[in-house]
Structure 1
Amino acid sequence: MTRDFSAGNYRFIPAVFQYSSGAAADSGFEIERVRFDRLTPLAEGFAQAAKYIQAAGRPLTSFCACELRSPAAFTEAGFLAFNQHYVKTLAEWGLFDGATNPVARSNVCPEIDPPAEPSFYAISFTRPIQGKGAPSSPDFVIAGGAEARGGAGSYAERIVRYRDLSPDGLKEKVGFTVREMESRLAAFGFGWKDTTAVQAYTVHDFHPVIVDELVRRGAARSGLTWHFARPPVIDLEFEMDCRRVTREVVI
Structure 2
Amino acid sequence: MKILILSTAGISSRFNTSLKSKKPVLKSIFYKNTPKHSLLGRFLEFHKYFDKIIIVGGFLFNELEATLKYFNTNNIDLIYNDKYNSLGSGYSLYLGLKKTLEYNFSEIIFSEGDLFVDKDNFLKIIKSPKDTISINNHDIYANKSVSLYINTKNHIKYIYDKSHNSLEILEPFTAIFNSAQIWKFSNTKKIRNIINKCQESIFKDTNLEFIQKYFSDVDINNCAIIKFKKWINCNTIDDFEKINFRG
TM-score, L = length of structure 2: 0.27
Q: Which has a greater percent of helix?
A: 2
